[in-house]
Amino acid sequence: MSDQQFEAVREYYRNRDVRRRIEEFCGGDKFSCEYIVGFGEFLARNGYRRPLRLSNHQEDLSGMMDQGLDVFRAVWDKKATLAVWDVEYFNLDTWHGLYHNQLLHFKLMEPVYLAIEELLEEYGIPHINDSTSSGYHFISLIPYSSTVHRKLERIGFPEKSLLNKDSQTHREDNKRLRKLPLRAARGYSAIGRLHEFLSHLVIRRTRKSSPLPVTISDAAVGRMARGREGMSLDITQYAD
């Protein structure tokens, strides 16, 4: 990364509105996310072998943004289950086309995007979405105190081996300083099942409207003019 590009990234993270939205996404005035991770050029220039920094402290966020680090929040939240549905274009043969002509590829993705928006609206699922370089994230927050979360807990069924790991803590790992509550484990498991259900509905609804094959989690498709391309409804974070 050139010095000019580096300063452009830092300038972006100095923007007051950008900082406010990132803080809001992490929980607002009092963070509810379990930890944050900063990643980027500043750390590489300062000798980090892996240019990332993890913190459990809210006050570190401002410094990360001052350094121009890309900030990621934990899916694990103290007050709610964070549901993240990752939907993206994939090509098993080449990524050149996507980054050479993103406008074309986002037009190819549009029918799937519209189908998901329509589906979430029908089920009354509040969400925000953000665009990535290759697709979208559809994100919902379900408070532990809500009736909806209690329903999720009834359908979530994390495996016993996973629950055993959830109950362990590791002092040397800032991601595992406390045990994962059972309601959080059940809520997360339930969201995985819900996303799988919704994925099948999206596949069914877009058979005629989508110029791209729609699959779950990058499942291989047949070769087309641009290669083995498709739209992935990615739920691998819930189970492989």
Do 69 and 95 have their domain in common?
Answer: no
Contact by Cβ (8 Å): 112, 214: yes
Using 50, 70 and 90 to split pLDDT, how confident is the model at 174? confident
3-class DSSP assignment, residue 146: coil
Dihedral (CA of 215, 100, 117, 29) sign: positive
Do 87 and 204 have their domain in common?
Answer: yes
Give residue-wise pLDDT tens across range 55-90: 999 999 999 999 999 999 999 999 999 999 999 999
**Percent of the chain clearing pLDDT 70 (strictly above):** 100
Report the domain count for the chain: 2
Using 50, 70 and 90 to split pLDDT, how confident is the model at 224? confident
Which domain does 199 fall in, by range?
Answer: 80-234
Do 34 and 90 have their domain in common?
Answer: no
Give residue-wise pLDDT tens across range 3-22: 999 999 999 999 999 999 99
Beta-carbon count within 10 A of 206 CB: 20
> CA angle at residue 187 from 194 to 89, to 5 degrees?
45
Q: Tell me if 201 is assigned to some domain.
A: yes
Question: 218-224: which pairs have CB atoms within 8 A and are 24 or more residues apart?
Answer: 218/90, 218/92, 220/92, 221/92, 223/93
Do 33 and 62 have their domain in common?
Answer: yes
Using 50, 70 and 90 to split pLDDT, how confident is the model at 96? confident
Pairing of strands 214-216, 229-234: parallel
pLDDT reading at 134 higher than 90: yes
Average pLDDT of the chain, as a whole number:
93
More confident: 62 or 95: 62
Do 102 and 15 have their domain in common?
Answer: no
Question: What CA–CA distance (Å, rounded) separates 190 from 158?
Answer: 9
Nearest of 67, 60, 82, 58 to residue 13 by alpha carbon:
67
Give residue-wise pLDDT tens across range 41-51: 999 999 998 99
More confident: 96 or 38: 38
Residue-level length of the chain: 240
Do 16 and 102 have their domain in common?
Answer: no
| Dihedral Cα 201, 25, 57, 170, nearest 10 deg | 0
Question: What CA–CA distance (Å, rounded) separates 177 from 35?
Answer: 10
Q: Tell me if 163 is assigned to some domain.
A: yes
More confident: 171 or 156: 156
Question: What CA–CA distance (Å, rounded) separates 13 from 40?
Answer: 12
Choose the final residue of a domain: 41, 73, 105.
73
